[in-house]
Structure 1
């Protein structure tokens, strides 16, 4: 037992990202509990923004916003470009909850750019999206649960544009076994380690043209949805 405990202690010192009780550090590799720790940043705006700052991410904090029903946010940020991030978002001015922004930064560093270099030999320059904040219920229904978009706690990613101008879209390149399709699937799988919910064309027709990424809270056990 003592020897096993020493091994665990030694491993934990070198790999704090794999332990549930260590603090999140966006400069560390993605570990077994990174995704859960990102979700736990909900309601911890000051801590989340401090993590972004320490990781070299440039951003501005957005003023609180309120809307009908459960709509609104008080922890949203907007990337301002430069710093530790190489990817720009189009349309410009994307604002998301801070936990989503932190996950997007880790997604760029640990999934999107490595996959782009592997499959194309060049990096992603920008990501095209369908937005984040939208005061609506799931699927725009008149009744039922509110969407994570209603609190800017989600973003819908439509396409990636490489440094040479090559565009890879979810709508046009998801199926098949070519580099574009493999890149999109790798990007989706990498997001599953960082977001509470990742929905792709494999889920249903409503997601045929985008990847839905959100940080929904799902209780103490941190159940995650990846499809």
Structure 2
């Protein structure tokens, strides 16, 4: 987990890469994966639930896949809404390399992989607002760090933007929802399946 979440440039070789066929939002895609990235052997259950339960995306706009890993969410968003621009951000360089490769392989030219800190700086500097944010956030980095990460990006939702997060029930999904509401966001559970909550988040009340 240390390498998967925190290492900027984890070591990996082409020999460690393999292809994985997955179904996302009704699209059949072939993805390159690596053990150096979260859930490097399969599409993890939480992400499966997010992709299954999140409502339809707008046809256009600027979207965010926060913590993109090897890119299943970003590629799914891009395929569903080819008129949108999808920012795919992560702290793991290997994840960004795989997302870039998978976007090209699946002909989704509207995916833009970026290092998380650089992307946040750019979004704030350019006044970027996101119409959709999807994330399977890294709960194991700790509550405080996750709260900082989430609020940094949720504050960049557009006026009509909506975020959807997937969090395990026994990893604090309900307490996270309550915490977001206390901070002024409109947040609530829209689905619960196989131990995971899908949390819908609207911008802070003005």
TM-score by length of 1: 0.29
Higher percent of residues as strand:
2
Structure exhibiting the larger radius of gyration computed from Cα positions = 1
TM-score by length of 2: 0.31
